[in-house]
Amino acid sequence: ALALPAAAYMLQEKEAHAAEMERSFIAIKPDGVQRGLIAEIISRFERKGFKLVAIKIVIPSKDFAQKHYHDLKERPFFNGLCDFLSSGPVVAMVWEGEGVIKYGRKLIGATDPQKSEPGTIRGDLAVVVGRNIIHGSDGPETAKDEINLWFKPEELTSYSSNTEKWIYG
């Protein structure tokens, strides 16, 4: 008689977590790749408990970079920024987890590395705003748009890992 409610409870818990799962687009920019920081950056997201569900290395065209940064097209640094993003390989990733969009931004740190806290990726590993080594989606809508821009649906994986019960309880 106890077995069924317990199983139902477990299922509810699992569904509750699934509902809270979100995905963020994270990219290591050409400076981070050239400086040999790929593993360091991936490691920070991985150790936190977030799950890597898509990854590839690509050299974006300038046109593609302009699409990615379309929100910034009126800014004076837009052209230089797009030239820079398309100047070399970028590691494009999708990370999944509870709160990954907002907390991913915390792991990354403030846009200007001079203002990023020590302990953050930009705070520890970058010096100037034009070479701040990493991009992370700034909200649920941009995350969706950026994932769709950089990845085809079949490039996104979906899997469970045995560590999840130790990360989420």
Residue 152 is assigned to a ligand binding site: no
Q: Which is nearer to ligand ADP, 120 or 132 (CB)?
A: 132
Query: What six digits make up the tokens of 41?
Result: 């950056």
Smallest gap, in angstroms, from Cβ of residue 163 to ligand ADP? 29
CA distances 118 to 95, 108, 129, 131, Å, are: 23, 11, 15, 17
User: How many CB atoms sit inside 10 A of residue 75's CB?
Assistant: 11
Residue 77 is assigned to a ligand binding site: yes
Considering only residues 132, 143, 147, 151, which one is a binding residue for ligand ADP as defined by CB under 6 A?
132
Q: Which is nearer to ligand ADP, 51 or 135 (CB)?
A: 135
Q: Is 68 a catalytic residue?
A: no
Q: Which is nearer to ligand ADP, 54 or 82 (CB)?
A: 82
CA distance 136 to 28: 9
CA distance 164 to 169: 7
Residues binding ligand ADP (CB under 6 A): 72, 77, 81, 111, 129-130, 132, 135, 138
Active site residues: 135
